[in-house]
Amino acid sequence: MATILVTGGAGFIGSNFTRAALAAGHTVRVLDDLSTGLRDNLGDVQAEVVIGSLTDPEVLAGAVAGVEHIVHLGAIGSVPSSVQDPVRCNEVNVTGTVGLIEAARAAGVRHVVFFSSSAVYGANPATPIGERDWVRPMSPYGASKLSGEQYLLAAQQSYGLQTLVFRPFNVYGPGQRADHAYAAVIPAFLDATLAGRPLRIEGDGEQTRDFLFVATVCRVLLAAVERGVWHPEPVNLAYSTQTSINDLVSAIGRAAGAHPQVEHVPGRIGDVKHSRAANDTLLQLFPDIEPESLDEGLAATVTWWTN
């Protein structure tokens, strides 16, 4: 069994992964500043929780001490908030990541798994889009994630650090919040559907996304840690699905046993029309992991939500 540091472990994906790792018998330490994550997300799980920032070298030194693997999920994760405060986004997502690499090196940690983002592709309209296609972020958030992933890959070449960089697409599931201004589409739609409010669709609803259930993500992350998987290039984390927002509304209605009302509003400037991952590399590295379907994932999410 391994000792794992999870940065951002009180967040949506981090708390789900922490529970999965503990259930598999591993020892987990969480580092989170609780700026977006919630201590309640971890409930009474048997993980050591360190409250502190990625930008604090002393906190990082203590957090990495004695761990064998780092799963680096901690970040300023909102595109709109990064536009409002790009300096803070850079401090956490870039400087914080470089600081974590240095702390890992000093502590002798050899394996780091990093969550980048499909936002690095930005203005590239290719679909499905592969890891070697050109990147052009459209926000400070996307730029910061691209910078962070390149630092991880450079550390692999410069210091022999075994790193694995994931570019996740649209992750959803239990624990994802709807109670803030930048909520992702699925929790926002579920919250509105269950409350009987109309769903706000930006544009015509024919834009498509590659949705991925958080339990699938956790299985991939756990396999990466347990097998010590590393790779010299970024890896798309998605299963090459293509669901329109209109079809998503229908799927949410089925899962919730409801008939959502829809309100169309103008589309966002610069919004990507279609987003879908090429996932050949993911399937080569993790051939044994089968993803949940959208209907399965939404059903589990609705169950969590209503409970």
The CA distance from 178 to 53, in Å, is 24
126: closest CA among 283, 278, 271?
278
58 burial (CB, 10 Å; 0-12 / 13-18 / 19+) is exposed
Q: Are strands 243-244 and 208-209 parallel, antiparallel or unpaired?
A: antiparallel
Within 8 A by CB and 6+ apart from 225, the residues are 2, 4, 21, 26, 69, 71, 111, 113
H/E element holding 7? strand 3-7
Q: Which two tokens stand for residue 91?
A: 């401090």
CB count, 10 Å around CB of 274? 16
Contact 145, 117 (CB under 8 A): yes
H/E element holding 79? helix 79-84
With residues binned 3-state (H G I as helix, E B as strand, rest as coil), the percentages for the chain, rounded to 5, are 45, 20, 40
Q: Which two tokens stand for residue 265?
A: 């509003």
- DSSP-derived 3-state class of residue 73: coil
What residues are annotated to the active site? 141
